[in-house]
Amino acid sequence: MLLRVTHAEALTPSIRSIRLASVDGTPLPGFEPGAHVEVRLPLGDDVVFRKYSLISDGADGSSYEIAVKRSDHGRGGSLFMHDRLSVGDTLDVSAPVNEFIIAAQGAHHVLIAGGIGITPMLGIAARLKRSGGSYELHYSSRSAADMAFHDRVTQEHAAQARLYFTRGDGARRLDIEALLARHQEQVDTHLYVCGPAPLIDALRLAAQARGVNRRRIHFESFGPSWAATDGTVRVAMSESAIELDVAPGTTLLDAMEAAGAWIPSDCKRGECGACIASYSGGRPIHRDNCLTEAQRQHSFCPCVSWASSDEVLTLQL
């Protein structure tokens, strides 16, 4: 559906809020909190698709609000949303999809957000507050200046919110182990996490180690991302005799498939494990949300993970 940008503003130096409405004023499709939309972005001769969480709880059908974190080392989607998109412009946007649903059986809900991961948590927290649900919101960022929606969180969820900062004087870091320890025996408490892969990993792996039922752990990830330190990776597939160089901006899975390799895959977000490959050389940089630490010693997910540029990544494919 074609939506028009009705408002845009900088929330932090790297995060921009964008509000979208239908071009003819008709109500937008409804959604439950935790939902996201996929936006089609024209980048020259190319087209990319990006997923963004919807910020509200779905009560207001007149518009959608999203927030975009700028990445100078991606494929250009966030730069388009920050530098080229203006009020009055239109975007091709999908209907909402929800893969981050509030657990109906939960008696208490622990919401954990890191950085831009606050976006789906705002809607979830708003719905729980409005419905009288029991919840707590833990929000971590580098500093108060980098914390998008700081005022909204502190004003609307003052009694439930805990803020953490990783930099600056008096930095107070979120302790995932301690948080999980407080709730691991409460079988009707569900924990939700959205944010950087290390944060999701910390909760997921700690829960596994403590024997917490994985149905109580919920996370939201949108697939591959690239770091400023990522370099071109040399990949060698030992069984198919294919070698190729892969530069940041395309996934290892996509590059290998384009070179003629057949690799089963499904979610392409590092969650399902369908594309797991064994490696015998190189140093993978794991960014999946499905493998255990033991499995990572010999396997990795090429749909989201990367590798060191210093060694050839040798895969048994």
In a 13 Å sphere around the CA of 197, the CA atoms on its Cβ side amount to: 19
Burial of 166: CB neighbours in 10 Å, binned 0-12, 13-18, 19+: middle
Q: For residue 238, what are the contacts with CB-CB under 8 A and spacing of at least 6?
A: 280, 314, 315, 316, 317
Please report, to the nearest 10 degrees, the dihedral formed by the alpha carbons of residues 82, 83, 87, 92 taken in order. -70
Distant-in-sequence, close-in-space partners of 137: CB < 8 Å, separation ≥ 6: 111, 113, 121, 125, 153, 157, 160, 161, 162
Give the start-to-end residue ranges of the domains of the chain.
Answer: 2-93, 108-220, 233-315
Round to whole Å and give the CA distance between 121 and 98.
13
CATH code assigned to 108-220: 3.40.50.80
What pLDDT shows up at residue 156?
A: 96
Q: What is the pLDDT of residue 109?
A: 98
d(CA 101, CA 145): 30
The separation between CA 154 and the C-alpha centre of its own chain, rounded to angstroms, equals: 23
Phi, psi of 135 (to 5 degrees): -155, 165
User: What tokens were used for 75?
Assistant: 């494929």
Q: Which residues contact 204 (CB under 8 A, 6 or more apart)?
A: 193, 217, 219, 289
Q: Looking at the domain that runs over 2-93, which CATH code has it been given?
A: 2.40.30.10
Cα atoms in the Cβ-side hemisphere of radius 13 Å centred on 159:
3
Candidates 3.90.70.10, 3.40.640.10, 3.10.20.30, 1.25.40.10; correct CATH number of 233-315? Answer: 3.10.20.30
| CA–CA distance, 68 with 35 (Å, rounded to integer) | 15
Give the other-Cβ count within 10 Å of 156's Cβ: 15
pTM: 0.82
CA-to-CA distance for 242 and 99, rounded, in angstroms?
A: 36
**Residue 300's beta-bridge partner residues?**
277
Three-state DSSP at 304 gives coil
Q: What values do phi and psi take at 75, rounded to 5? A: -95, 5
Are 183 and 102 in contact by the 8 Å Cβ rule? The answer is no
pLDDT of residue 64: 97
Positions of E strands within 115-188: 135-141, 161-165
pLDDT in tens, the chain (317 residues): 999 999 999 999 999 999 999 999 999 999 999 999 999 998 877 788 889 999 999 988 999 999 999 987 666 889 999 999 999 999 999 999 998 999 999 999 999 999 999 999 999 999 999 999 999 999 999 998 899 999 999 999 999 999 999 887 667 889 999 999 999 999 999 999 999 888 988 998 899 899 999 899 999 876 677 777 889 999 999 888 889 999 987 889 989 899 988 888 887 888 888 999 999 999 999 988 888 888 999 999 999 899 999 999 999 98
